[in-house]
């Protein structure tokens, strides 16, 4: 994957200021409405951008005429994320919730409750990592096919994850790097009165753009690999 391109492609679009600015404004307005609309918009923005990368669009930043479809895409992505997070949610409710309840009941139940909470904490980290990886693979399938059913095909999603496991781990590492860069930019801008408030939303939009570019690369390369397997030397 081209990590350098993922970090810099935004600024190679001559209209990047307008596009990022408009996306930031819509995200900010959405965040004012109980946060959820803003999160849905950012998710749809990332997937739309990723599909542009997969399709080889020269400047993949979504245009200002795509906002309606971006919200629609974001709602579907949000649904996919909820489904893939259900095991983690259930684990926390059953073990974590039961453990906390027993701890609050009495000293006799406190020991059992502490054990349940400990088990929940021990299982949450590996399950959370697996959930994150599966969720990214599901998003790649959604980017490829544009259907929620493709993302909900757990067998095919698992196979995609296994075939590209190194790339997905690199995406996770890259997301941490991008998050640090975004926080540094916001922190440096804090020397001005309004800097942090002006840049924090664009920083999030840039982070989603980078993530979308990386997932789009995986989607495009996986689709190309599948075509080569199907047609062999004729392709």
Per residue of the chain (235 residues), give pLDDT as tens.
Answer: 788 888 889 999 999 999 998 888 888 888 777 667 888 999 999 999 999 999 998 899 998 777 888 999 999 999 999 999 998 888 888 776 776 766 666 555 557 767 777 777 788 888 889 999 999 999 999 999 999 999 999 999 999 999 999 999 999 999 899 888 888 877 776 666 555 566 788 888 999 999 999 999 999 887 666 654 554 544 3
Report the phi/psi class of residue 33: left, alpha or beta, with left for phi > 0 and alpha for psi in -120 to 50.
Answer: beta
Tokens (6 digits) for 8: 């810099």
Task: Give the count of domains, the chain.
Answer: 1
Q: How many CB atoms lie within 10 A of CB 20?
A: 19
In a domain, 205, yes or no: yes
In a domain, 48, yes or no: yes
Domain enclosing residue 158, as ranges:
3-81+148-227
In a domain, 125, yes or no: no
In a domain, 115, yes or no: no
pTM: 0.84
Q: How far is CA 7 from CA 12, 57, 82, 170, 198, in A?
A: 10, 17, 28, 14, 20
Sequence-distant (6+) residues with CB within 8 A of 184 are none
In a domain, 216, yes or no: yes
CA atoms within 13 A on the CB side of 186: 18
In a domain, 99, yes or no: no
In a domain, 128, yes or no: no
Tokens (6 digits) for 76: 């579907």
């Amino acid at each position: 994957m081209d990590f350098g391109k993922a970090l810099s492609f935004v600024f190679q679009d001559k209209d990047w200021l307008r596009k990022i600015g408009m996306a930031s404004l819509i995200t900010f307005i959405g965040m004012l409405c109980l946060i959820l609309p803003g999160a849905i918009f950012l998710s749809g923005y990332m997937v739309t951008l990723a599909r542009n990368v997969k399709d080889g669009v020269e400047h993949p930043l979504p245009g200002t005429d795509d906002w309606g479809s971006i919200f629609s895409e974001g709602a579907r992505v949000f649904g996919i994320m909820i489904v893939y997070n259900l095991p983690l949610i259930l684990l926390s409710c059953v073990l974590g919730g039961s453990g906390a309840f027993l701890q609050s009941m009495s000293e006799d139940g406190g020991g059992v409750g502490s054990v349940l909470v400990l088990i929940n904490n021990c299982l949450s980290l590996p399950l959370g990592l697996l959930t994150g990886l599966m969720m990214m693979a599901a998003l790649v399938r959604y980017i490829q096919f544009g259907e929620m059913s493709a993302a909900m095909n757990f067998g095919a999603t698992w196979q995609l994850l296994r075939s590209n496991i190194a790339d997905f781990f690199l995406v996770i590492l890259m997301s941490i790097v991008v998050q640090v860069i975004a926080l540094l930019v916001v922190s440096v801008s804090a020397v001005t009165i309004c800097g942090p408030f002006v840049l924090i939303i664009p920083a999030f939009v840039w982070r989603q753009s980078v993530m979308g570019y990386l997932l789009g690369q995986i989607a495009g390369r996986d689709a190309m690999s599948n075509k080569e397997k199907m047609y062999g030397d004729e392709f």
